Amino acid sequence: MYQQGFGVYQKAHACELDQTKLILMMYAGAINFLNKALKVANNDNIEMGMYLSKSKNVILELMSSLNLEKGSEMGNVLLRMYLKLYNKLNIAHMQDDVEKITEVRDSLYELEETWKQVFESNECRKFKRKNAI
């Protein structure tokens, strides 16, 4: 499953999908899977587990996309945050804990909104223009 995520990333990169769009798509995907897991939580634990697994795979992909060498401390902060969210989803899955699923979804939503603000900032736009090929 992890290899599939990497394959999608490589294909998107090959199609020159903007990195900012890719990151936002990954957040939206994980949030969508968690919403689906919450929707079926009381009726179908197997389907809920499938959606939790998909969301965990997206979080793994976010972790693997971090450039810890060039990202200074921010990359390490994000890595710790993603690990915490991933572990919380594991616990939620084992305990059928809807509250933990909701917490992770809300955290991902906050991260997504933060990234949107960063990507829309003047500094980011200047950087992208400066480094355009």
Q: What is the DSSP string of 75-129?
A: HHHHHHHHHHHHHHHHHHHHHT-HHHHHHHHHHHHHHHHHHHHHHHSHHHHHHHH
- Cα(39)–Cα(125) distance, rounded to whole angstroms? 38
Which pLDDT belongs to residue 7? 56
- Digit-coded pLDDT (tens) for 15-72: 545 788 889 999 999 999 999 999 999 899 999 999 999 999 999 999 998 888 775 6
Mean pLDDT of the 70-94 span: 90
Residue spans per domain, the chain:
2-130
The predicted structure's pLDDT at residue 14: 42
What pLDDT shows up at residue 123? 67
pLDDT tens digits, one per residue of 122-132: 666 665 555 55
Residue 2 has a pLDDT of 47
Cβ neighbors of 67 (< 8 A, separation 6 or more) are: 75
Q: Dihedral of CA 17/34/58/114: which sign? A: positive
Q: What is the mean pLDDT of the chain?
A: 84
Q: Looking at domain 2-130, which CATH architecture does it have? A: Up-down Bundle (1.20)
pLDDT at residue 18, as a whole number: 76
pTM above 0.85, yes or no: no
